[in-house]
Amino acid sequence: MAARFLVVLLLLALPAAAQTRDTLSIGITQYPSTLHPNIDNMVAKSYVLGFVRRPVTAYDASWNLVCLLCESIPTLENGLAVRETTPDGKPGLRVTWRLREGLRWGDGTPITTADMAFAYEAGRDGATGIGPAEFYRSAYEFIAGDDRSFTLRFDRVTFEFASLGDFAPLPAHLERERWASEPRTYRTRTLYDTQPTNPGLWNGPYRVVQVQAGAAITLERNPQWDGPAPAFRRIVVRTVESTPALEAQLLAGQVDMIAGELGLPVEQAGALIRRTGTRFRAEYRPGLSYEHLDLNLDLPVFADRRVRQALLLGLDRAQIVARLFEGRQTVANTNVNPLDWPHDPDVRQYPYDPARAAALLTEAGWTPGPDGIRRDAAGQRLSFELLTTAGNRSREATQQVIQAQWRQLGVEARIRNEPPRVLFGETLSRRRFQGAALFAWVSAPESVPRSNLHSDEIPSAARNWSGQNYTGFRNAEMDALLEALPQELDREKRRVLWQRLQAIYAEELPSLPLWFRQDAHIWPVWLHGVRPTGHLNFSSLWAEEWRVR
């Protein structure tokens, strides 16, 4: 009787939220274009999938590469990575991974080497449209060991060999037959999109149990998960593409938290915290999020790099950061973040200089017309579309400022926005945008940007629209650097290559660098254990550590 009385007293002493809360509702601003882990790259997809699947390796919150499905990270020192000579006589690498014991898909089927072999086979077939293409080209042979061991043979020695990136297991018992029947149409027939509640698709602490397309994805505990039990029985990830509406839902209790990876801009989050006092907790985390303008370089208006340079010189980015973002963002000079060690502080910079911008446009043959908009010798107006993710108040405000500042140069930017799943799933991936697109790339630490800068990564119908070089950038020296960088194991020699990459980027400007973002994570005071990472492997990959206090 005394023991029972003590338990009752302890329960009464707990906060009400800790006693009763078994559901967590999370607000984000985008909805995934697909739930297939190996097709398309989108922050919304990566965030959601962090709860329901695990890759073999990932970078943690300390930016260290760690095993999630494997027993240990392969290194040259531990013998799991071995130098060898490829069949054509070049230096190569043989790397072996061993999966942890007891891994299972949500339907109870063991995760085995067969699932890795299927992912490899589908990725190697260019008709599938799985990226990154260079990984599957370089990994020229897959060798199955026992049910838990597999080896990849690479046609080069790289510093990235231990990170498998987007190469993740696929449930062969569910997806192989569907893929094999017609690889080219597999991306529209995958169970990840046609039957996403099939438990056998998921191997994380949660599994998908309900999908409301464009609105919400509901997750519940995965009974086959072999790791620490997650605190919440259910997680609902709600998509609210308007940031003011998302804030309103937080205040009304319709969502408990807003994910920093896809949430409120820092200035809106700061104002919210000032108004609500101690009701919520906020953490501002700088990271490897690169806000920029992708330019469609196949359009004649962007063919001359002097035009691209003038467009950047005509933007007062420091003022935009100060006025729109409370000074919390860092103005970018290239695509390499100052937080990442390869960053070159001496790379060419573009301070606000409208006079120089105007002179460059005139040199390039664009002179003011009767309506103030510049024209070339053929009478074509210097006019193009300016797109971003609809409903993102911060980006839409940025658009307005960019449009006004370019208008002063005689440049017309026509604003047209789209829902994120359309912009990323169709317009950018199929290169249908007719101008400049404002969005962010999120990368892992020291991530070689091959997928968005190498000419082989330009999406096309022949490649089933894989690749992320949406700009269509073609530069032979850049291609050579992107191929040489991963193969240089000496860090200081790599630094020289990184410096040259940044110099080319700053000169050619395939994209216009704006700033590196801080993310604003908004949590209820009772939620603990969320660890923002500041890079491509998001906090949801460690959701089993989240707790109510």
How far from 389 is each of 30, 93, 104, 241, 396, CA to CA, in Å? 9, 41, 37, 8, 8
| Residue 379: CB atoms within 10 Å | 7
Q: What is the DSSP string of 261-313?
A: GGS--HHHHHHHHHHHTTSEEEEEEEEEEEEEEEE-TTSGGGSSHHHHHHHHH
Give the pLDDT of residue 41: 79
Q: Which residues pair with 22 in a beta bridge?
A: none
CB 443 within 8 A of CB 449: yes
Domains by residue range for the chain, with CATH? 57-175 (3.90.76.10), 287-517 (3.10.105.10)
In this prediction, residue 13 carries a pLDDT of: 42
Q: Return the pLDDT at 3.
A: 42
Any residues with CB less than 8 A from the CB of 128 and at least 6 apart, and which? Answer: 122, 179, 183, 184, 186, 187, 464
- Assess contact for 451 and 399: CB atoms under 8 A: no
At residue 495, φ and ψ (nearest 5 deg) are -60, -40
Helix, strand or coil, per DSSP, at residue 139: strand
Residue 508: is it exposed, middle or buried by C-beta count within 10 angstroms (0-12/13-18/19+)?
A: middle
Please list the residues that pair with 519 across neighbouring strands: 285
C-alpha distances out from residue 259 to 40, 41, 44, 530, Å: 21, 18, 10, 10
What DSSP character marks residue 518? E
pLDDT per residue over 158-199, tens digit each? 998 999 877 889 999 999 999 999 999 999 999 999 999 999
In this prediction, residue 367 carries a pLDDT of 97
| DSSP letters spanning 86-124 | -TTS-EEEEEEEEBPTT-B-TTSPBP-HHHHHHHHHHHH
Question: b/e string for 143-154 if b means 16 or more Cβ within 10 A?
Answer: eeeeebbbbbbb
- Written as one letter, the residue type at 505 is Y
The two tokens of residue 537 are 């492997």
Is the Cβ–Cβ distance between 233 and 23 less than 8 Å?
yes
Point out the residues of the chain with pLDDT beneath 50: 1-19
Separation CA 450–CA 531 (nearest Å): 28
Q: Between helices 266-276 and 393-407, what is the axis angle to 10°?
A: 130
pLDDT score at 16: 43
Whether the CA torsion 268, 517, 442, 279 is positive or negative: it is negative
What is the length of the chain? Answer: 549
What sign has the CA pseudo-torsion 299, 301, 302, 304? positive
From CA 305, how far away is CA 297, in angstroms rounded? 10
**Residue-wise DSSP of 194-251:** HSTT-GGG--SSEEEEEEETTTEEEEEE-TT--SSPPS-SEEEEEE--SHHHHHHHHH
User: pLDDT by residue (tens digit) across 283-300?
Assistant: 998 989 999 999 999 999
- Rg of the chain's alpha carbons, rounded to an integer? 24
Distances (CA, A) of 9 to 4, 13, 526: 9, 6, 20
pLDDT at 549: 87
Determine what percent of the chain falls in helix, strand and coil, rounding each to the nearest 5.
35, 20, 40
